[in-house]
Structure formats: C-alpha cells, structure tokens
C-alpha cells in the first residue's frame, strides 16, 4: 500500500491569515487554488446539516478561494434554483444569515442530477463540470465529497473514474480529491476490498477519509498540550499514570438512523474511528516534526501496539449494553428496540466500555478504558488521565492512608477545557486536605475564529493537508484489532448473550463495576461504575 500522501506542492497552494496577536506563532492556512466541490448526496441529511452550513460559514469568513463553486448532485431531479432554495433553508436552520452575502454565495451553487449506477449519468456530470470550469475559471481543481451510504462509495468512485474525472493533470495544475466519511468497511476484509476498489481510480494522496473528531479544536490541542510543553511529557507514562479513561457519552438515541445503526452498532459507529483516534493522540510518541505522514505514522504505531483481546474471556475486557426505556431531561424516552426502524428483538449494542492496553515501554500495564454510548445521562466527551497515588502518605495518622491522586482532564464537550485536580491544605488550624481544580478554558483569550470540525475538514481538503484524516494503514490496523471482537460478539449476539440493558438517562449497564473493579476509576464528571438509577419502567 502506498503511504505517500502529500502531492508535490500541495502546501504551497495556500495563503495565510496571520494571527491578530503580534508575537504569536499562529496563522490559518487558507486555500488559494480555485476549485469546485462536488457533493454527491446533496439532497441528503449530511449536506443540509453539516456541509452547506460549514461552507457558507467559510465563505462568510472569506476563507474560501475565489472562484469557488459548489455542485450538488443527487438522484432527485432538482434544478439550480431548487438547490439554492433548499440550501438557504438549511443554513437558516442554524441561525440568521446575511441576505447580501447569501446572494453572492448562492450564485456559486449549481445542481446536477446523477444516477450513481449509470455511467452515462457521470458522463453528463463530466460535461457539466467542464462547462462550469470554462465559465467560472475553476481550473479543473475538484473535490468529490461522497455524502452517501457506504454501499455507494465504490459505484461512485467507478463512475467518476470511468468518466475520466479521477485523473489529475500531469503538469500538476488541476488536482482531484475524493472525500469519504466513515464507515470505511465493516470489518478488515471489507475495508481492504473497499480500498482496493478506490485505488483503481485514485492514488492514496487523493483519498481523504474523514474523522470529524480529529478536527475538533480541543482534540487537535492534545498534541500541542503534550509536545509543546516540557512539564507533562516526563510524567506521561506507566511510572506516573495509573489509568486513562476516554469517554464519548451522548444523550441522543439512534434518531432517524436505524437503518445504518442496526448494521453498525456502537463498536463500528464510534470505536473503530473516533475512540481509536482519541486513544492514539493520548498514547502516541512525538513525531520528529509536525507533518501529516509523520503524525499519522505515530498514530498508526499505537493501533499496531494494541494488545489483542483474549477472545475466550471477552467479558473481562468489554461490556456491551443497549438502552432500554428510561427518562432524560424529565421526559420518558423509548428503548432502542422501540425506536422506528429497529428490530423489536435487536441485539445491536448502543453502549460499550472496553479495557485495552497499549503494549510498549511507555504504557505497559496501564489500562485505557474507552467508553461510549447513546442515551446516557449527559453528553460528555473527554480524556481523563488518572495519575498514581503518592507512594506513602505522611499524613496517615491524621488523615488516613488514602490521598486522592491527581487527575488531568482534557474536555472536548460540553466545554473545551483542561483541568488538573490536586490536593491543598484546607485553611484553618488543623491539617485537612482539600481537592482543588486548576481550570483552563480553551476559549479564553483565543484569537481568530473557532472553526467547527466540518469547516476545518473542508478547508484541509482544499489545501490538501491530510494530517487530520485517516490513512489506510491505520484503518486496517484498527479493523484488525476489532474484527475478532465483532465476530465473537456477533456470534453470541444472535442469542443476545453478553448484552446488558441500561435505562435511557443512566450511566450505562451496572456490570461496569466488574470491568472496573481492579481500579478505582473516576472522572471529574462521570460516575462510571457507581450504582445506577433503577428507572427502567
Ligand atoms: C458520528 C456517529 O460519527 O459521531 C454518531 O455516527 C454520533 O452516531 C456522532 O452521534 C457524535 O459526534 P459528536 O461530534 O456529536 O460527538
């Protein structure tokens, strides 16, 4: 597999917006090359909820190149005006828009009906794109953004390839990029097959596999925090860290995505991608330089160092759950099996907590607990680093032997902040300990606009920067790790074994305590493993 991903000169096709604060080493890399973004699946949910609002916002900030066109494609027979009208409604859904700006933005929106299984349909698209290039001077630079179900990735790639739209021009003027969302396959074999199919038409450097978690501001900050400060790295290892808890808890249920989720479940939906990337950023070694392939090499080494699960004793390392009816924000909510489109006897997990180990010198023996689930009590995304307790409490006669260990929390949601808890003396005549928290809010004193994850991802596609995207070797390493687990779970899942129900609005299944028993696992905000509310009606 080819891991060469940077096209020659890709980083040169950017312009920089310097930070407003003199003396800071900061600038926003903005795309300079004119281009078109062709959204396949333009009538769908992702386009309306994420892509168009993000593109409009980038336009509003003057971050898009000029000229820049958006060509929506879909099976529905809309015309340009219908597309513009629908997209205006989608953007307005997010908040008020500036009418004059919108008119300028809308004049760059076009629509082309495409039937993804018909070669002649792609031939018509090719003709339309050449015509738009000629009229608007977009120079043949194109991003094909596939906002479609995964079953269509290969037909679309083949259609684009067969219509002669995939090949970049020899002289380097005119680049083509192909952007796909997860899931990249549903196990190791299908991920390899998908990759082989995409590489028939595209080179690795043309393929952008999105993980929107990597583009979140505070997630990007993990590497800066670890490697731009000298004080954390010396203690970032098994000698000082007891365990790590990585959480992505959601209050949302399956919503309208049962068709997809019934096939995916939480392990494919959240673990194979987002959770693995959070783990990699927490555990990876510093690359010698902050460049896309060097960073992705280091992330990949973490995936390859994961200790394979002992499939025979899976329940000692993995708890799977499914939400039953319960209550959230004071209102009753149905269980997963009662959601529209979900089989009444579904055994698809909506919650997982996994205890995993990174087998290298730095992390030997340190458990990483990864937890994610739907319909939990609160939406929280965070990485909690629990340090070891002091080796000996000199206060043991007065305070007892236990002194709560330090904890560092990198919070991604609901607040972007970093907190460190430590012990101080409570004011007064007696020596009493008090846990206090040092708190840094990420938004505090920030300069420049904070980009939403999709805005960042789209900008990086335009500049050709693959730092925040998956490379195929990483995808395959994660599937190699997870596939035996999935196969095992699915084999017993048919009988519903090993699936624990939890009330919607709780903190997951009660049996978590067994998984956590050997460690006193806490985070600042989540009472993992403490007795649950019993409110399953
Ligand atoms: C998506 C998953 O990738 O991430 C969803 O498919 C999940 O099921 C979502 O809800 C969570 O993302 P965020 O940014 O809201 O934490």
For residue 489, the model assigns a pLDDT of: 80
- The string of pLDDT tens digits covering residues 346-404 is 999 999 999 999 999 999 999 999 999 999 999 999 999 999 988 888 877 777 767 88
pLDDT at position 262 over 70: yes
Q: Whose CA is nearest to atom 4 of ligand 1?
A: 270
% residues pLDDT > 90 (the chain): 72
Residue with the smallest CA separation from ligand 1 atom 13 is 213
**Spatial CB neighbours of 353, under 8 Å, sequence gap ≥ 6:** 318, 319, 369, 370, 371, 508, 512, 515, 528
Give the ligand 1 atom nearest the CA of 260.
6
User: Tens digit of pLDDT for each residue in 290-311?
Assistant: 999 999 999 999 999 999 988 8
For the record, the structure tokens of 99 come out as 């009418």
Catalytic residue among 243, 274, 317, 522: 274
Which atom number of ligand 1 is nearest to the Cα of residue 269? 6
**Residue 282 pLDDT greater than 90, yes or no:** yes
Work out the average pLDDT over 12-32.
Answer: 60
- Under the banding of pLDDT at 50, 70 and 90, the label for residue 88 is very high
The 10 Å CB-count burial string (b at 16+, else e) for 294-316 is ebbbbbbbbbbbbeebeeeebee
Residue with token string 């973004």? 37
Asked whether residue 229 carries a pLDDT value surpassing 90, the answer given is: yes
Distance 353 CA to ligand 1 centre (A): 16
How far, in Å, are 40, 57, 303 from residue 347 at the CA level?
A: 32, 40, 28
Q: Which protein residue has the closest C-alpha to ligand 1 atom 5? A: 269
Active site residue 256: no
Band the pLDDT of 8: cuts 50, 70, 90.
very low
Evaluate: CB of 372 within 6 angstroms of ligand 1: no
Q: Mean pLDDT over all residues of the chain?
A: 89
Give me ligand 1 centre to Cα 533, in Å.
25
Looking at residue 529, what is its pLDDT? 61
Ligand 1 within 6 A of CB of 33: no
**Residue 506 per-residue DSSP state:** B
Separation of CA 393 and ligand 1 centre (Å):
43
CA dist 99 to 92, 106, 170, Å?
A: 11, 10, 41
Which residues lie below 8 Å from residue 118, measured CB to CB, with a gap of 6+? 159
Report pTM. Answer: 0.90
| pLDDT score at 534 | 42
Best of 184, 274, 457 for a ligand 1 pocket test (most atoms within 8 Å of beta carbon):
274
Cβ of 250 below 6 Å from ligand 1? yes
Residue with tokens 């312009």: 15
Calculate how far, in angstroms, residue 191's C-alpha sits from the geometric centre of ligand 1: 20
Confidence of residue 419 (pLDDT cuts 50, 70, 90): very high
DSSP lists the bridge partners of residue 111 as 72
Burial of 24 (0-12, 13-18, 19+ CB in 10 A): exposed
Q: Which atom of ligand 1 is nearest to the CA of 381?
A: 16
More confident residue, 191 or 415: 191
pLDDT confidence of residue 523? 62
Mean pLDDT of the 72-77 span: 96
pLDDT single digits (tens) 467-522:
999 999 999 999 999 999 998 887 765 555 689 999 999 999 988 877 876 666 66
Instruction: Using the mean position of ligand 1's atoms as its centre, give its distance from the Cα of residue 175 in Å.
Output: 30
CA distances from 189 to 181, 263, 429 (A): 18, 16, 67
Greatest distance between any 2 Cα atoms in the chain? 85
Residue 449: the pLDDT is 72
**Above 80 in pLDDT, residue 14?**
no
pLDDT of residue 445: 73
Residues above pLDDT 70, as percent of the chain: 89
Residue 381 Cβ contacting ligand 1 at under 6 Å: yes
Res 267: pLDDT: 95
Question: What local confidence, expressed as pLDDT, does residue 533 receive?
Answer: 43
SS3 61: coil
At 535, is the pLDDT very low, low, confident or very high (cuts 50, 70, 90)? Answer: very low
The position carrying tokens 């687990």 is: 485
269 Cβ inside 6 Å of ligand 1: yes
Q: Could you tell me the pLDDT band of residue 2, with boundaries at 50, 70 and 90?
A: very low
DSSP element (H, E) containing 354:
strand 351-357
Report the 3 state secondary structure along 372-413.
EECCECCCEEEEEEEECCCCCCCCHHHHCCCCCCCEEEEEEE
Look at residue 63 in the predicted model and tell me its pLDDT.
94
- What H or E segment, with its residue span, contains residue 127? helix 119-136
Question: How many C-beta atoms lie closer than 10 Å to residue 198's C-beta?
Answer: 25
Q: What is the mean pLDDT of residues 418-435?
A: 87
For residue 165, report the distance from its CA to the centre of ligand 1, in Å.
31
């Amino acid at each position: 597999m080819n891991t060469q991903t940077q096209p020659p000169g890709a980083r040169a096709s950017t312009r920089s917006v310097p930070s407003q604060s003199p003396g800071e080493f900061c600038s926003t890399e903005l795309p300079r090359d004119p281009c078109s973004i062709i959204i396949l699946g333009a009538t769908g949910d992702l386009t309306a909820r994420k892509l168009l609002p993000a593109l409009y916002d980038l336009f509003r900030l003057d971050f898009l190149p000029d000229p820049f066109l958006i060509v929506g494609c879909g099976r529905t027979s809309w015309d340009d005006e219908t597309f513009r009208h629908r997209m205006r409604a989608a953007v307005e859904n997010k908040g008020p828009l500036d009418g004059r700006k919108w008119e300028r933005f809308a004049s760059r929106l076009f629509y082309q009906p495409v039937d993804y299984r018909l070669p002649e349909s792609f031939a018509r698209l090719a003709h339309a794109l050449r015509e738009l290039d000629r009229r608007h001077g977009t120079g043949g630079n194109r991003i094909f953004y596939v906002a479609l179900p995964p079953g269509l990735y290969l037909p679309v790639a083949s259609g684009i390839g067969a219509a002669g739209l995939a090949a970049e021009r020899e002289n380097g003027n005119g680049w083509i990029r192909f952007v796909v969302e997860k899931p990249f396959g549903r196990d190791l074999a299908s991920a390899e097959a998908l990759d082989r199919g995409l590489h028939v038409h595209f080179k690795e450097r043309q393929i952008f596999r999105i993980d929107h978690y990597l583009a979140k501001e505070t997630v990007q900050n993990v590497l800066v925090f670890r490697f731009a400060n000298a004080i954390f790295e010396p203690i970032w290892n098994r000698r000082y860290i007891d365990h790590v808890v990585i959480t992505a808890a959601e209050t949302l249920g399956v919503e309208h995505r049962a068709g997809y989720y019934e096939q995916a479940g939480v392990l494919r939906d959240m673990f194979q991608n987002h959770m693995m990337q959070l783990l990699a950023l927490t555990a990876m070694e510093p690359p010698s330089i902050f460049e896309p392939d060097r960073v992705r090499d280091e992330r990949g080494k973490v995936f390859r160092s994961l200790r394979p699960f002992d499939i025979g004793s899976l329940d000692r390392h993995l708890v799977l759950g499914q939400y039953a009816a319960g209550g959230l924000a004071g209102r009753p909510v149905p269980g997963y099996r009662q959601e529209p489109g979900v089989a009444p006897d579904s055994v698809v997990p909506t919650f997982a907590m996994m205890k995993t180990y990174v087998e290298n010198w730095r992390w030997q023996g340190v458990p990483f607990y990864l937890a994610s689930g739907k319909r939990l009590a609160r939406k929280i995304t965070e990485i909690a680093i629990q340090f070891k307790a002091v080796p000996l409490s000199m206060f043991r006669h007065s305070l007892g032997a236990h002194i709560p260990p330090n904890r560092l929390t990198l919070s991604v949601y609901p607040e972007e902040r970093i907190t460190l808890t430590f012990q101080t003396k409570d004011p007064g005549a007696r020596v009493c300990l008090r846990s206090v928290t040092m708190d840094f809010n990420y938004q505090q004193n920030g300069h420049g606009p904070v980009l939403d994850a999709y805005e960042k991802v789209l900008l990086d596609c335009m500049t050709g920067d693959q730092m925040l995207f998956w490379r195929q070797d990483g995808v395959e390493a994660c599937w190699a790790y997870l596939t035996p687990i999935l196969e095992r779970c699915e084999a017993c899942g048919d009988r519903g074994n090993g699936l624990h129900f939890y009330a919607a609005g709780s903190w997951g299944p009660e049996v978590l305590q067994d998984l956590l028993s050997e460690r006193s696992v806490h985070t600042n905000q989540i009472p993992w493993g403490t007795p649950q509310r019993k409110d399953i009606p």
